[in-house]
Structure 1
Amino acid sequence: MRDTEPLTGEPLALDLVNTRPASAEGRTDLLDTPERLAAWLALEESRLGSETGGAVPTKADLAAVHAVRDHTETAVQALLHGQEPPAAALRALTQAQRAAPAVRELTWNGEAVTPAVRRTGPLGVRLAAVLAEAAADLLTDPALGRLKECEADDCVMLFLPAHPRRRWCSPARCGNRARVARYYQRHKQPASVARTGEAQ
């Protein structure tokens, strides 16, 4: 897995926060264009339901998603370090949910009444509401006490480990790098030993 590809599989709010991995130049934004946002939404489609509705995101939609991501990351980082999340971040997440509340739209399918969750408003407002709701679920989940940051030196990814010994955000990304580095360290000869061997 390349670092330019978003990690998925954590709670939706963490997947969103993890779209800003570290790179040699600093933090990289994997949602820096409407097109890349559309690709990420496709990856998360099973969890977003019908909120995208096949719509193509705009720059305004991207800005709304970025705002929720920033507030979520601020709150999560505070909790990760045992601090109180800033009230402004929590208020902003609540306001994002309020802007496009979920309504259970009732329909008849021929046999029974069925509910479908619907939100109204522009795509960015709907996405911000869904993602802020996911952040609220994460921030109030007792499992958040297990939250970890990847142990790789150059990684800032966050995850909720199912197993307490998990150390890496991804076995294919940082876990593999760490194994390769350990192998290299175990098998490389000190320079002085190599020179001695060449002289004989």
Structure 2
Amino acid sequence: MKEESKFPLITGNIALDLVNTELVRRGQRHDLLHSEGELLEWLKLMREQGCFYELLLDEAEEQIHFIFPDLINFRALLRANFEAIADGKAISDLILSLLEDRIEQAPFIYKLHNNKLLSLPIGSIGRKIISIIALDVLKLIEANKLQKLKKCSNPDCVLLFIDETGRRKWCSMKICGNRNKAARFQQKKFENS
């Protein structure tokens, strides 16, 4: 039986999953990446999800203390922009320029590894990781998915997701949807007694 992750992997996109490493529990905001060890754990999980290559993980482990502050700052920048987009604002030219700049700082090359062609950024490991995440955001924009970005309908939840159907309300049924259903059931039960 697979152990559940402490990270809410509800999007399948490394950029959104990074932003969603901040969440609310019992009314208080929690940072799931408050240490270098947790960032490394998250990177390993992203590798398992196919968002991050094994080739980069060893380098990340060795340099995690350099990576940590830059990645946390990048997450804050993404969160601010993603929340604005979820609130109906257009994708700013400034964020597009910034994402392109991050990729230019660690441009991609191709390598054959285990008979698989990999697109790998070059440069320092911190810049490589940010380049991968920036590319993910640009791919979301290209596919018109970022325009479908939503906030969870639970006012206490800060998780973001892409609403492909136009009907999704919750970050996940498992996280907020079931809580809402249980609360409605309890309310009905109370009203009927």
| Structure 1 residue corresponding to 2:125, chosen from 117, 123, 126 | 123
Q: How does 1:149-164 map to 2 (within 5 A)?
A: 149-164=151-166
TM-score normalised per structure 2? 0.81
Give the distance between the partners of 1:12 and 1:89, measured in 2 at CA. Answer: 17
**Stretch moving more, 81-90 or 39-48:** 81-90
Which amino acid is 2:42 matched to? W
Which amino acid is 2:143 matched to? D
The Cα of 1:64 is off from its aligned counterpart by 2.0
Q: What CA deviation, in whole Å up to 9, does each residue of 1:32-89 have, x standing for no partner?
A: 1111111111221111123533341523211221232222222222222232445543
Aligned to 1:103: 109
Q: How does 1:136-151 map to 2 (within 5 A)?
A: 136-151=138-153
Which amino acid is 2:179 matched to? R
Across the aligned residues of Structure 1 and Structure 2, the Cα RMSD in angstroms comes to: 2.6
Which amino acid is 1:133 matched to? L
Aligned to 1:38: 40
CA 1:51–1:91: 2 relative to 1, 3 Å? farther
User: Within the alignment, does 1:92 sit opposite 2:98 as a pair?
Assistant: yes
Show structure 2 runs of 5+ residues with no match. Answer: none
Give the distance between the partners of 1:182 and 1:16, measured in 2 at CA. Answer: 31
Give the distance between the partners of 2:167 and 2:67, measured in 1 at CA. Answer: 38
User: Within the alignment, does 1:58 sit opposite 2:64 as a pair?
Assistant: yes
| Counterpart secondary structure, 1:31 | coil
Give the distance between the partners of 2:53 and 2:130, measured in 1 at CA. Answer: 14
Which amino acid is 1:63 matched to? P
Report if aligned partners of 2:20, 2:160 keep a CA contact under 8 Å in 1.
Answer: yes
| Larger Rg belongs to | 1
Show structure 1 runs of 5+ residues with no match. Answer: 194-200
Give the distance between the partners of 1:107 and 1:52, measured in 2 at CA. Answer: 12
The Cα of 1:91 is off from its aligned counterpart by 3.2
Give the distance between the partners of 1:18 and 1:117, measured in 2 at CA. Answer: 25
The Cα of 1:188 is off from its aligned counterpart by 1.8
Give the distance between the partners of 1:187 and 1:17, measured in 2 at CA. Answer: 37
The Cα of 1:26 is off from its aligned counterpart by 4.0
The Cα of 1:14 is off from its aligned counterpart by 1.2
TM-score normalised per structure 1? 0.78
**Stretch moving more, 65-74 or 93-102:** 65-74
Report if aligned partners of 2:148, 2:163 keep a CA contact under 8 Å in 1.
Answer: yes
Aligned to 1:187: 189
Report if aligned partners of 1:148, 1:159 keep a CA contact under 8 Å in 2.
Answer: yes
Number of residues paired by the alignment? 184
User: Within the alignment, does 1:6 sit opposite 2:22 as a pair?
Assistant: no
Give the distance between the partners of 1:184 and 1:164, measured in 2 at CA. Answer: 28
